[in-house]
Amino acid sequence: MQIQPDNKPYDDINITPMLDLAYVLLIIFIVMTTATVQGMKVNLPKASASPSLAQQTTKAITVGNDGKIYLDTIPVTLPELEQRLVQQKALTPEFPVVLRGDAQTQYQNVMDVLDLLGRLSITQVGLATKPPAK
């Protein structure tokens, strides 16, 4: 019994590995573009053109128009915010925080967050504002 060699050329190209690569690149693109989103969209009040702390922040706290509080983009309650900030302070004792409050939110909601930051001895606090109109 003799085995005949198959010297027939390929009729088609196998594109499965190329499709696998395309899907992996698509997933990487989607993950990288959504990873840069930080904070919630709020209507910020206006301020002067002084240097900002927003360029070096590690944590953004947002108080929305409805009074909801967000840590970066995650909705939290005031006790949850305290717990997460205590955990962050244990990892990095001196980390800056930017407080972003909607222009239409109640002042008391922003003061509750500022009081919490004061109790936790977080001293690098910035208030985010819109740049002045030119």
Q: Which residue has the higher pLDDT, 18 or 133?
A: 18
What are residue 2's phi and psi, to 5 degrees? -115, 135
Model pLDDT, residue 69: 92
Model pLDDT, residue 48: 64
Domains of the chain, each with CATH number or no CATH: 54-127 (3.30.420.270)
Query: What mean pLDDT comes out for the span 9-36?
Result: 81
Model pLDDT, residue 54: 44
Whether 76 shows a pLDDT value over 90: the answer reads: yes
Model pLDDT, residue 45: 75
Model pLDDT, residue 77: 92
Q: Which residue has the higher pLDDT, 130 or 68?
A: 68
Question: For residue 49, what is the DSSP state?
Answer: S
Identify the CA nearest to 73 among candidates 128, 34, 105, 28.
34
134 confidence band (pLDDT: 50, 70, 90): low
Residue pointed to by tokens 């002084």: 50
Residue-wise pLDDT tens digits, 99-123: 988 888 888 888 999 999 999 988 8
Q: What is the pTM of this model?
A: 0.57
Residue-wise pLDDT tens digits, 24-75: 999 988 887 776 556 667 777 776 665 554 444 468 899 988 889 999 889 9
β-strand partners of 63: 69, 101
